[in-house]
Amino acid sequence: MAQINVRNYGAIGDGRTDSTHAFRTAIDAASRRVKASLGLAIVQVVIPSATSSYRVGPLTIPTNVELVGTGATRPRLLPKASVARWITTASNARNTAIRNLVLDTYGRVAEAAITMASGTSGFAIASTQITNGAGTPARAGIDTRSGTRNLAISACTLGGITAVRLGYNPTNTSIRQTTFKGWVDRAVWVRSDETYAVNGLTIDSCTILPPAPGGTVRQPIQINGADSKPIQNVTITNNRVTGPGTDYNDTTTPGTADLISLHRCEGFTVSGNTVTGGGDVGITVAQQSRNGVVSNNTSFANFSSGIAIGSGTSSYVRDISVSGNRCLDNGRVGRNDTTPAAARTGIYVQGAQTVSVKDNRSGSDSATTSQLYGVSTARSTGVTISGNDLHGNARSSTYSA
């Protein structure tokens, strides 16, 4: 690949010098080289390691241009002043990337550190850390606008921010081998409305550590569609999600709600995940979700259920297979406990239709457990329960409200 070095255009990584002009000039030179190649070349804007940080204002990445850090340590970028959106792709940009950088929003980015502008296609964010060194965090580390396609996030670390916010109608997004730590509000937030819906989302082999201490946080992974625009084709596999040890309703130290939450989703797979250590429910599928598989997950020590299909406000959750999961020692006992007995269970099916609960392990191997039931059902029809190992629950293997 052709390379253009920001140092050759006057960038100085001393933590003080404003290098915005140097970065923008280097990016413009890269774009001209792309156009001279009739759009066939990928040109990298190289950012060498520095003794301190590069201070830069808002940047726009055009088609076939990549921002790439080089050197023994990843170069760090800081915003030179307060901005709404910091690094943005050009409208309808194709084949862009950010690799091997540290982006420290430093309390100066109000909306998003990285934004895909409308029509962006083929954007890779790899081996990059997005963090907040001081002040109020950005509302998103990575954010999408309408028409985003083929976004790939891999081997990144995101912390001190509401990490990934997928809005409008992104298609074919993947988040792989990425670590979320000290996040605020949500780690991955997917939101649709009656106009736009996400189609094609993979979250695989990620580690989501507890959120930043204090305050009220929500789901680490929240996938939330709309009644007329359900989110299509979601795959959540092989992730480890750890709660903070307190739940969302705790009046003393608010923690997380459900650790993995799918609302109004169609055609989904949630498999091979480990969810533990706090959260009203480990994995929830609710609010008109349908045609999905929840299999081979491990959910333990959550405050209500290990896995919940439907909820007290759900309707038309249907055609769900729950198989091969391990739900152990869920259900909290103690202060501020408002969870009903029916919900202190390994697998809870409520307000759902045509649900298969098969070949799961739900109970405890210890002498004492706070998990009252292996499987509970309420307001549901067409639920089949077979081949499950439900020994070791405090009250009974099954419960029907």
- C-alpha 283/C-alpha 298 separation (Å) is 10
C-alpha angle with apex 55: 50 to 57, nearest 5 degrees?
Answer: 145
Please tell me whether the overall predicted TM-score, pTM, comes out greater than 0.85 for this model: yes
pLDDT tens for each residue of the chain, 401 residues long: 799 999 999 999 999 999 999 999 999 999 999 999 998 999 999 999 999 999 999 999 999 999 999 999 999 999 999 999 999 999 999 999 999 999 999 999 999 999 999 999 999 999 999 999 998 889 999 999 999 999 999 999 999 888 999 989 999 999 999 999 988 889 999 988 888 889 999 999 999 999 887 666 778 999 999 888 899 999 999 999 998 887 777 777 777 889 999 999 999 999 999 999 877 899 999 999 999 999 999 999 998 899 999 988 877 899 999 999 999 999 887 655 666 778 889 999 999 999 999 999 999 988 788 899 999 999 999 999 999 999 999 999 998 97
What are the start-end ranges of the E strands in 145-280?
A: 149-154, 157-159, 164-166, 171-176, 179-181, 188-191, 199-204, 207-208, 221-224, 231-237, 240-242, 260-263, 265-271, 274-276
- C-alpha 297/C-alpha 163 separation (Å) is 24
- 3-state class (DSSP) for residue 395: coil
C-alpha distance from residue 384 to each of 171, 344, 355 (Å): 35, 20, 6
CB 256 within 8 A of CB 278: yes
Backbone angles phi, psi at 6, to 5 degrees: -65, -25
> If you ran DSSP here, which 8-state letter would residue 391 be given?
-
Nearest to 318 by CA among 361, 349, 358, 282: 349
**Largest Cα–Cα separation, the chain:** 73
CB 209 within 8 A of CB 247: no
C-alpha angle with apex 125: 119 to 127, nearest 5 degrees?
Answer: 180
Nearest to 227 by CA among 190, 194, 268: 194
Nearest to 144 by CA among 161, 121, 177, 126: 121
- 3-state class (DSSP) for residue 317: strand
Locate 112 and state its tokens: 């998003």
- 3-state class (DSSP) for residue 343: helix
